Every structure is written in C-alpha cells, then in structure tokens.
Amino acid sequence: MKRREFITKMGAGALAAGTGVTALGAAQAAGKRFRWKMVTTWPPNFPIFQDGVKRFAKEVRRMTRGALTIQVFAGGELIPPLQSFEAVSQGTVEVGHGAAYYWAGKIPAAQFFTAVPFGLNAQGMNAWLYSGGGLELWREIYAPHKLVPFPMGNTGVQMGGWFRKKIETVNDLKGIKMRIPGLGGKVIAKAGVNPVLLPASEIYTALERGTIDATEWVGPYHDLRLGLYRAAKYYYYPGWHEPGPTLEMIISKEAWEALPRELQLVVENAARASNLWMLSEFEARNLEALRTLKEKYHVQVIEFPGAVLAELKQLTARTLQEEASKDATFKKVYEEYQQFQRSHDAWNKISESAYARAARDR
Amino acid sequence: MKRREFITKMGAGALAAGTGVTALGAAQAAGKRFRWKMVTTWPPNFPIFQDGVKRFAKEVRRMTRGALTIQVFAGGELIPPLQSFEAVSQGTVEVGHGAAYYWAGKIPAAQFFTAVPFGLNAQGMNAWLYSGGGLELWREIYAPHKLVPFPMGNTGVQMGGWFRKKIETVNDLKGIKMRIPGLGGKVIAKAGVNPVLLPASEIYTALERGTIDATEWVGPYHDLRLGLYRAAKYYYYPGWHEPGPTLEMIISKEAWEALPRELQLVVENAARASNLWMLSEFEARNLEALRTLKEKYHVQVIEFPGAVLAELKQLTARTLQEEASKDATFKKVYEEYQQFQRSHDAWNKISESAYARAARDR
C-alpha cells in the first residue's frame, strides 16, 4: 500500500514541473508553447502500434490547443528504431514509444514492464502497474537514465506462433529454427530450439523458404497482414512467451519537468486513454482476423500440447532464476512481480478464468 | 466496420461543439469557463466508484486550469440516486455517473451497455464499445433522451454471491430469497429463486437475520467492507450474472455541444483513462481482499456446480429471447451484441482462457 500511496502522490504533484507550481505560475506558463519530437520503434503505418502513437499526439495537440505539439517519427525516420532509449535519455528528442524489453541489454529488469513468459496478462499488468506498485518501481529503475516511463498500449495475449510442422511432443522442438526474441527465446532455447532474430521485413521470406521453421509475431490481425498463413500451416496458441505485453512511452526527465502541471496531466491521461484504446483495437481486430484465418484460409489453429507447455513453464522458472542471479535489480523486480502475480493468479482463477469456462463450455 | 469509422469521425469532429469550430473560435472560447454539476448513483465515499468519479472531476479541472469545473454529488445529495438519468436528460444538471442497466425500466436495451448474464467480460466490453460499434449504438439509443453516454469504469467479473447454505444442485435454489437485481434476477427467478431488491445499507442486516438467504454484491473488496462474510458462510463464483459491468457517464447533449472541442476531448480522454483506472483498482484491491477473506476469515470460496451454471445459462438465453420479443430496440442491440460476442468467445478461448490455463495449471 505504501508504494501505491506514493504513486498517487506522484500523480498529484510530486512529478509536476515543480511542486511549487502555483495558479500564477501556471498562468504565466499558459502562453508558452512546447514542441516535442517523438520517435518510435515501429515501422511507419504499423497498424495500432504506430497508428496509436499518432492518434495520441493528435489528441494531445488538440486538447492543449497546440500548447504541446508532438511530431511523431517512425523507427528509422529520425533515429534507428532501437536507439530511441538513448536518444530520449540524452535529450536528443523528448519522447519515445516502444517496449521496455527492447532495453534488456542495458536493463535486464526492464523486461518485467513489457511481459515475461507465463507472467501477467493485460488486465494483470495494468493492475500491477497502476494500482499495485509496478509503475513506481519502473520509474525508480528508469530514473538514473533520466527517463519517465508510462504504460501506453497492450497487445493482449499474443499467439504462440506459426510452425511448418506439427509440435506433438517436446522432442519436436529440438533443432528447429524459430524467430523468437527475448526471454521467450532464452526459454525455448533450453528446449532445444535455435532462436533467431529477424526484423519484420524478413520474416515472411525466411519462413516461406524454410530458412526458419517457425516464427512468432503478434496476433491474428498482424499475422494475417504479414501473410504468414501462406508460409506455414500450423498456428499455435497460447502465446505463453508474451501474455500481455505492455507498450511504453518514455519522456526525457528534463522535458517532463519543464511542462506545466496541466500539460503533464494531459499527457498522463492521454497515455492512459491510449493504453486502453490500443488494447481494445487489438482485441476487436484480432477476433475478426481469427475468423478470416479460419474461414477463408482454413488455417489450422492448434493448442500447444499440455506436456510442451508444462516443460516451457519449468524452463521459464529456471531462466528467470538464472537472470535473477546475475542482476540485483532483476532479482528485486522479479520478487515483487512474483508476489503480485501469485495473488493475481488466485483471483483470476475464480473470476475471469472461471467465468470464461462457465460462459463458453456449459 | 462502417460503424467503427463513424465513431472515429465522431471523435474527430462530428460530436464537437460545432463542426465549424476554428482555431479562432477556439481562441475566443478560451476565456469562457464552464461549471458543471455531476450527480452519481453511488453512496458518498463509495470506494473506487464514487472515488473514481471525484478523481475524474479533479483531473478535468486541473487539465483545463479550471476552464471546466465539475462539482460532484453522491446519490441523494442533490438528486435521488436513481433519478440522475432524468435530471441530466432534462438539463437540471449537466452530468451523471452510474450504470446503464439502472434505466432498464425506461430503456430495456440499456442493459447491454452495462452487463448481461453470460455476456462479455471487461476486455470484451471495451473492445465492443470502443472498437466494435457498441458505443455508436449506445449513443443512437440515448440520443432521443438528449444524452451522450461514455464508458467510464468497469468492475471486472463480479462474484456470484454469498449463500447461507450450500448450493449443490439446481433444486437447492428453489424457494430461496436472494438480493439480486436486473436480468440476473429475472434469470434466477426462473430457477425458483425469489429475487428481492435491497439497497446497500440493508443487505448486511437482512442476510445476518435470515430475512434473505443469499445476496450478490460486487467483489471481494466491496464485499469485505460490507462484512458479508460474517452473515453467510459460502462465497460462490463466478459472477455469471455480471461478467464485466461497464459504468457509464452521461452528459446532457446541450451541455456537451456547448463545450469547445478541446474541452470535449479532455472529457473524452479523462473518461477513458478513468475507465481503465477503475478496472485496475478493482483488480488490485480484489486480489488483496480475496487473500484476506480466505486467510484471515477462512471464508469458503466455492465454484457453482457445473449443472447449476448450465441451467442458468439456458435460462439466460430464454430470458433474453423473451425480452427481445417485447422490445424492438432490445432485439436490435441483442443481435449486434451476440454477433460480436460469438467472435469474441472464439478469440478469448484461444487467447486469454487458454493462456490462463497454461500459466496456472501446468
């Protein structure tokens, strides 16, 4: 509860331009205009992801009648996609949008603020971040980098990926090449998979030519657009490796603190509204795309066998423990996250999960 | 998709003060201040519900530097709790907060915009409303009442309720008196329950004295505060009757149209941000309270037997069909809702549900 109260206070003032912002100060600032540059890790026109960021910037501009104008650049347009963390940290640009786990090389613990295998789903992530102390922890960890992070977007549970051959036992994973990044890649490597990294633009061709045997991407909507159903026959669920990835906005501390309090609140509310907008879009577009994949393209949508999931879950626990033993901050966040997740699991079991079963299976 | 595009356009302008709002018009409006009164259906200091509304009003005031000030009144402070629809519709006050199913007597179809038994969960409701055409339908239906509705809050799946005796078969429901309102009450009445209505203030005593045999309320957090664990022994799940109730804000059309576009966008973003804030609070507080109920008060948390849920599901289909045959608008919304729900179920089954099972049970 302490952490939560602290967040509330931060929301109410401590994060503001200065805690001494008065009505007079705000009035003086009223005439001041701010022009920010925002770089993302997404391709131009990447649906929902990049579109959501552009929508956010437009809302902020219109809400503030141009007092805060944010010019949005896709990955590579101004800064290479995976250099946005440095660019914002150094103040080259004011804002970035991407996913915290892209910075795992610098900050291994950042991965908890996107998604970890067999971790929290979207509703759990939001509850942890906004109302369970997660966001305060995230801000603590980014503070030395002069960055203020905000949750802004969530894909919901992703799909498990496209496979050219059926996975019937754990043995079927051995030796296959799969495009799967991050912790999911580390976990599945322990099961014998050879995880490779490929940018979006190369995935389809690699899979189609058999350079890789499998790939994960996002969910039905994005996977359909990439045409992956033409390159592999089996579409596996669930996305055990990315159960509810949170997208992040990062703002340079200096730019943030220069904003008058009312503009900070506009940014904060718009980010939270965008968080929900993106999740709702993913959910609505995914359910339509799933229908298309099944009815029009006759894709075989298959659940991973229980024994495979059980094995991956064990390997996840081992992987997370190994990472924790290498990095004190990772260990600290892991412990807090796990504690929240245990209670969340107990609640989810009798609420969302029990309800879904009751509504569908009876 | 048509409906969705229309919503986007509405967000982008058609709902604005006038589609002719120019930069100059906005600048002229800049000096104008708006003072609104907002009445809710909630008791004063009702946690998360009323607190969330007060938080929303505060955010709006601060974001607009007082250009839009909303004074919040709890149910009964200015208007009796269940008369807020009329009060806002007639323009006595500008804004209301409550739940659409309270207006079922006037608009039976309104119930779909809160929750229906065995219907969409919170994530599904948000996807339907924001990205699946639901909100446009809602606005169409409220337009003759001169009201503009907004989703603002969601409790998540509620609990099934507190029972003084165990429910082992459908027969155990016959003849019991249960506090359960709305469609849930109509459904369970068909199973032989005598549904009664009681305000919050009377529930505990009625249950403790045996005037009623069972009651539903909200979820672990609110149920714990009401002390229901002292009055009944068995706490049933899941909340089949209210799987993801959306809370609503209603704004008088006239007041809404008098706002300059930037203030409309502030209200819209703050409402969407509050929607997520409330859901996250419910989730985080419920999981703590569930632990307390189990560990400290040794409450027996029990799943409804499968046969009971199956029976209630059948009775729900019958009830909804009966309601549809009595009211053309109900029928229209029911058909759209069902179509969305079918696709949502298919997606939820391989995403959230399959994931929850994989993460917990292996």
Query: Residue A160's closest chain B neighbor by CA?
Result: B351
Tell me which chain B residue has its CA closest to the CA of residue A271: B273
Mean of the per-residue pLDDT values for chain B? 92
Taking CB atoms and an 8 Å limit, are A219 and B272 in contact across chains?
no
Chain B: residue nearest A133 by CA? B284
Give the mutation candidate from B123, B136, B240, B279 for the A interface (greatest A CB count, under 10 A): B123
Residue A26: which H helix or E strand, with range?
helix A23-29
Q: What are phi and psi of A319, to 5 degrees?
A: -60, -45
Contact B362, A313 (CB under 8 A): yes
A43 C-beta neighbours (distance < 10 Å), count:
17
Q: To the nearest whole angstrom, how far is the Cα of A41 from the nearest Cα of chain B?
A: 24
A122, A238, A261: residue with CB nearest B358: A238
- Closest by CA to B195, choosing from B217, B178, B174, is B178
Q: Which architecture does CATH list for B161-243+287-324?
A: 3-Layer(aba) Sandwich (3.40)
What string of DSSP letters covers B211-256? SSSEE--S-HHHHHHTTGGGT-SEEEE--TT-SSPEEEEEEEHHHH
For residue B15, the model assigns a pLDDT of: 35
pLDDT tops 50 at residue B26: no
ipTM over 0.85? The verdict is: yes
* CA pair distance B306, B314, nearest whole angstrom: 12
**Chain A CB within 8 Å of residue B345 CB:** yes
- Distance in angstroms (rounded) separating the CA atoms of residues B155 and B47: 12
Task: Give the angle B187-A352-B276 at the CA atoms, nearest 5°.
Answer: 105
Contacts with B284 from chain A: Cβ below 8 Å:
4, 127-128, 130-132
- Quick check: A350 and B238 CB within 8 A? yes
Q: Decide if A244 contacts A123 (C-beta within 8 A).
A: yes
Contact (CB<8Å) B27/A303: no
Q: A228 is written with which tokens? A: 């992956």
pLDDT tens, position by position, B198-228: 988 899 999 999 999 999 999 999 999 999 9
Residue A63 to residue B240, Cβ atoms within 8 A:
no
Q: What number is the average pLDDT over the span B175-180?
A: 97
Per-residue pLDDT of chain A (362 residues; tens, 9 = 90+): 344 333 333 333 333 333 333 333 344 445 799 999 999 999 998 999 999 999 999 999 999 999 999 999 999 999 998 999 999 999 999 999 999 999 999 999 999 999 999 999 999 999 999 999 999 999 999 999 999 999 999 999 999 999 999 999 999 999 999 999 999 999 999 999 999 989 888 999 999 999 999 999 999 999 999 999 999 999 999 999 999 999 999 999 999 999 999 999 999 999 999 999 999 999 999 999 999 999 999 999 999 999 999 999 999 999 999 999 999 999 999 999 999 999 999 999 999 999 999 998 65
Domain residue ranges in chain B: 161-243+287-324
At residue B178, what are phi and psi to the nearest 5 degrees? -130, 135
pLDDT at residue B149, rounded to an integer:
98
Place of tokens 């059948």: B314
Q: How big is the CA angle at B225 (ends B220 and B231), to the nearest 5 degrees?
A: 85
| Total CB pairs under 8 A between chain A and B | 251
Specify whether the CB–CB gap between A183 and A318 falls below 8 A: no
Tokens (6 digits) for B339: 């179509």
pLDDT of residue B200: 85
Which chain B residue is nearest to residue A301, measuring alpha carbons?
A: B350
Any chain A CB within 8 A of the CB of B32?
no
Q: How confident is the model at residue B108 (pLDDT cuts 50, 70, 90)?
A: very high
Place of tokens 């002229």: B28
Q: What is the DSSP letter of B101?
A: G
What's residue B262's pLDDT?
Answer: 97
The pTM assigned to this predicted structure is: 0.92
Distance, CA of A318 to CA of A313 (rounded, Å): 9
Give the model's pLDDT for residue B362: 53
Q: In 3-state terms, what secondary structure has residue A264?
A: helix
- Cβ of residue A118 closer than 8 Å to a chain B Cβ: yes
